[in-house]
Amino acid sequence: MAYDPVKYKQDSMDSWNVRAHDYHSGWAGAGRGPFRSTKELVNAASISKDDFVLDVACGTGAVSKEAHSRLGPAGRLVGIDFARGALKIAKENVPAGHFIEMDAERIGLRASFDRVLCQYALMFFPDPVRVLSELRSLMKKGGLFAAVVHGTAQGVPYFSTIMEPVLKRIPDIRPQGTPTVHRFGDPEDLKNALVAAGFTDISVKKFVFDYDAGRFSDYWSDYMATTASAIRARIEAKGERTVSEIRAESEEKAQKFMENGAIRFPWDVLVATAANR
């Protein structure tokens, strides 16, 4: 089955609407594991108090909140996301921000931003270079773009410890060509996309955070309920035996991250900045 970008986006929007609450309380809002990047991203963007800031695919507003805390009375913050459920939380989270329901691939804004931020979303856009080019056209000359993405499958074992055993048994779990969370895990791919969009002065910095996933049973149930929510039904449709095999292999792979009975995963994150000159 070929990957259909329109269906992919519709499914993704539905999934983020449903997951927004758990995502906020368990991950982004709690600043857990990879979300320690929020502060690093906002620091890298060197926001001034009067800036006009755009948070692209703002989700539940973790980055917006941190960015807004750096602004003075004349500064403004706009967040866009296509998931209404996530935006509702963002509005509660950052009452002084302006949040708009919008597809990042069809930005209907006429504005000129000093800073554009994007955390853990670039890899999900079917045409990321087009989005980046459009974002650049919405920035002031001298403005700065800053983004965070996940590292490679090897650098983010939280995803790959379960996903590799799934893919081994169900290689077509996602249609061929579907964007993956690791799409910009190689810094060269991220740099190339930024160059193709016309940005200059590109810097990519790697951070390694820890993520405490608890006992294997906690990790498995949390992963299935959140990260794998969109594919869970397809995994379960393969039958109990396949699910048990996937679980057993994942547990074996998780052993190397076990410390005193609990899993501690390293988590590679890339923080990029790029200028619009």
Residues forming the site for ligand SAM (CB under 6 A): 9, 12, 16, 28, 57-60, 62-63, 81-83, 86, 103-105, 119-121, 124-125
Cβ closer to ligand SAM: 121 or 166? 121
Min CB(192)–ligand SAM separation in Å:
20
Cβ closer to ligand SAM: 59 or 97? 59
Residue with nearest beta carbon to ligand SAM: 59
Min CB(63)–ligand SAM separation in Å:
5
Cβ closer to ligand SAM: 2 or 6? 6
Min CB(16)–ligand SAM separation in Å:
4
User: Using CA atoms, how far apart are residues 20 and 115, in angstroms rounded to an integer?
Assistant: 25
Residue 47 φ/ψ, nearest 5 degrees: -75, 135
User: Using CA atoms, how far apart are residues 7 and 52, in angstroms rounded to an integer?
Assistant: 33
Question: Considering only CA atoms, which of 72, 62, 65, 59 is closest in space to residue 97?
Answer: 65
Min CB(27)–ligand SAM separation in Å:
7
User: Using CA atoms, how far apart are residues 183 and 54, in angstroms rounded to an integer?
Assistant: 23
Cβ closer to ligand SAM: 119 or 161? 119
Min CB(62)–ligand SAM separation in Å:
4
Cβ closer to ligand SAM: 25 or 112? 25
- 123-127 contacts, C-beta under 8 A, 24 or more apart: 123/149, 123/150, 123/179, 123/180, 123/181, 123/182, 123/183, 123/184, 124/12, 124/57, 124/179, 125/179, 126/5, 126/8, 126/9, 126/179, 127/5
Which residues have C-beta within 8 Å of that of residue 48, sequence separation ≥ 6?
75, 114
